[in-house]
């Protein structure tokens, strides 16, 4: 056992590590794990006051509930689209803006501004723009002689994906920009000297060295994609019908409309397990991809 041995060098650093971690452990224990523990215990109870014990009843109910399955499927599609879109677009824009271009600060500002405002305001704004009857977009399209759109009814899920990307792409761009700053120029120079083409340099040097950033961006994008809520809450109210019934929006309705905190807690725990699984897989894959230098 560890305690029988004389403290080795790594043992000493372990102590330092825990010393540095102490405030964090205390903080996360009180403000995250106490409440999460509470969620776990609530998930075994039922009734409007969540005061009747039901064991795993809520979990069994969720497993057989078509509305839960549907919401999960909607969320999965939404997340995959948002994750792929934000990585590809964010990286492309970051690469473009990492060059010595005239006016690049202005471009960076322009691309990030949607992120600086809140999901709620962005949602209200886009509802105002996209409304087929009352929105400003159809007015503009009309003046340009183009046919009116009705995307909120014809392609509701794609529309909220687009709005999410519209708001979030500047954020991934900034993360990639910061990551690109960490890549020493010498690598590129060496490759250039060797005569490697731009694409080759991107695949062989930039992308591998960006791996820690890419891992971070994709893990966070999956987490926030699976937890997306405001888009459905503000823009579509989950509709039309249940077309944009994102999982967390669904849980919110179960909790606060139906006042079934037990059932909503059980669904949150299931969501937690799904996201943990996704994240562990990503971290495993990421560890293989990470370059130590």
Site for another protein in 12-71 (CB under 8 A): 13-25, 27-29, 31-41, 48-49, 66-67
What's the closest the beta carbon of residue 199 comes to another protein, in angstroms?
12
Residue partners of 253: CB distance under 8 A and separation at least 6: 238
What's the closest the beta carbon of residue 34 comes to another protein, in angstroms?
4
Among 5, 144, 145, 181, binds another protein (CB under 8 A): 181
Residues 38, 39, 40, 46: is their CA dihedral positive or negative? positive
- Degrees, nearest 5: CA angle 64-253-34: 90
Residue numbers 68-87 binding another protein by CB under 8 A = none
What's the closest the beta carbon of residue 228 comes to another protein, in angstroms?
10
Cβ distance to another protein smaller for residue 43 or 81: 43
Q: Is 118 in the site for another protein (CB under 8 A)?
A: yes
Q: How far is CA 84 from CA 34, 117, 186, 190, 276, in A?
A: 34, 23, 30, 31, 19
* Cis-peptide, bond into residue 130, ω within 30° of zero: no
Binding segment toward another protein, per CB under 8 A, in 71-79, 80-88, 173-181, 199-207: 173-181
Cβ distance to another protein smaller for residue 84 or 239: 239
CA gap 268, 227 in Å, rounded: 10
Cβ distance to another protein smaller for residue 81 or 218: 218
DSSP β-bridge partners for residue 46: 52
Other Cβ atoms within 10 Å of 228 Cβ, number: 22
Using an 8 Å Cβ cutoff, are 255 and 247 in contact?
no
What's the closest the beta carbon of residue 232 comes to another protein, in angstroms?
10
How many chain residues are in contact with another protein, going by CB under 8 A?
138
Among 60, 80, 237, 281, binds another protein (CB under 8 A): 237
Cβ distance to another protein smaller for residue 81 or 206: 206
> Per-residue string for binding with another protein, 187-226, x by CB under 8 A?
----------------------x--xx-xx--xx--x---
Q: Is 135 in the site for another protein (CB under 8 A)?
A: yes
What's the closest the beta carbon of residue 195 comes to another protein, in angstroms?
18
CA gap 198, 188 in Å, rounded: 10
DSSP codes of every residue in 212-225 = HHHHHHHHHHHHHH
Q: Is 262 in the site for another protein (CB under 8 A)?
A: no
Residue partners of 184: CB distance under 8 A and separation at least 6: none
């Amino acid at each position: 056992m560890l305690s029988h041995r004389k403290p080795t060098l790594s043992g000493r650093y372990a102590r330092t590590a825990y010393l540095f971690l102490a405030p964090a452990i205390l903080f996360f224990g009180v403000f995250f794990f106490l409440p999460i523990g509470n969620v776990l215990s609530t998930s075994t109870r039922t009734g409007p006051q969540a005061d009747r014990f039901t064991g795993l009843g809520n979990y069994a109910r969720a497993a057989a509930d078509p509305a839960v399955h549907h919401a999960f499927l909607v969320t999965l599609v939404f997340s995959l689209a948002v994750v792929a879109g934000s990585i590809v677009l964010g990286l492309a824009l970051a690469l473009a803006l990492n060059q010595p271009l005239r006016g690049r600060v202005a471009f960076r500002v322009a691309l990030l501004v949607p992120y600086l405002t809140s999901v709620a305001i962005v949602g209200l704004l886009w509802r105002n723009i996209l409304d087929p009857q009352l929105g400003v977009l159809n007015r503009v399209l009309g003046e340009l002689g183009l046919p009116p759109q009705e995307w909120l009814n014809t392609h509701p899920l794609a529309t909220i994906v687009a709005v999410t990307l519209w708001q979030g792409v500047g954020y991934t761009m900034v993360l990639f920009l910061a990551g690109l700053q960490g890549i020493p120029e010498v690598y590129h120079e060496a490759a250039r000297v060797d005569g490697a083409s731009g694409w080759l340099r991107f695949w062989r040097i930039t992308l591998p060295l960006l791996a820690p950033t890419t891992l971070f961006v994709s893990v966070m994008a999956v987490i926030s994609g699976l937890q997306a809520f405001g888009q459905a809450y503000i823009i579509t109210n989950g509709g039309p019908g249940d077309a944009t019934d994102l999982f967390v929006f669904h849980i919110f309705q179960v909790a606060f409309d139906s006042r079934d905190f037990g059932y909503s807690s059980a669904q949150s725990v299931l969501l937690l397990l799904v996201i943990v699984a996704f994240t562990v897989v990503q971290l495993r894959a990421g560890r293989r991809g990470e370059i130590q230098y």
